[in-house]
Amino acid sequence: MASDWPYTLGEALKKLLVLLSGAGSLSKAANFTLDFARKEQSTDIVLLYVVDNEVPASVSSWLIYVGFMGDKPSDDYKHTILKEFRQRAQEDLDEARDLIAKGGFHCRTRLEEGSLLETIIRMAEDEKADLVALALPGKSEVGGILYHEAAKNLRKKSTCAVKII
């Protein structure tokens, strides 16, 4: 089971994986990342955005629930949502990278697609992250429910420290 913040004093954290989850989380993520990088000095920073392949079904369910669309949305609709999601995710990654660069630090970005929780866990392991920081959207956003649930489960399943920002 992963530990939560703060980590043990004197323990050097070499790799920080920061999950972005939407425009509302960018400033929180960038500020946390810059503060952390200034404190650690030698941190390798990776910004991650997961295009969750469950989002089209969630959005469709909500639109069906409010009566906006019929019971069986087309595949074109699902592809359109994922295309828009990918585009916005890349824009958010670029913006966060630029904010961190303006703060004087370099970071890499990764845009991954798949199940949110499984992808975060896989990326933390692939990147050998010491800390995974999740910048969560507000609970009122449609995707917020998915991210908050993933954050709760990540704390239980991650092999590294987890910080919710």
Domains of the chain by range and CATH? Answer: 15-55+88-164 (3.40.50.620)
Residues pairing with 139 in the sheet: none
pLDDT tens for 21-61 read 865 678 888 999 999 999 887 679 999 999 877 655 555 45
Residues pairing with 114 in the sheet: 52
> Confidence band (pLDDT; 50, 70, 90) for 122?
very high
For 83-126, the three-class secondary structure string (H helix, E strand, C coil) is HHHHHHHHHHHHHHHHHHHHCCCCCEEEEEEECHHHHHHHHHHH
pLDDT tens for 140-161 read 555 556 666 777 888 888 888 8
Instruction: Report pTM.
Output: 0.78
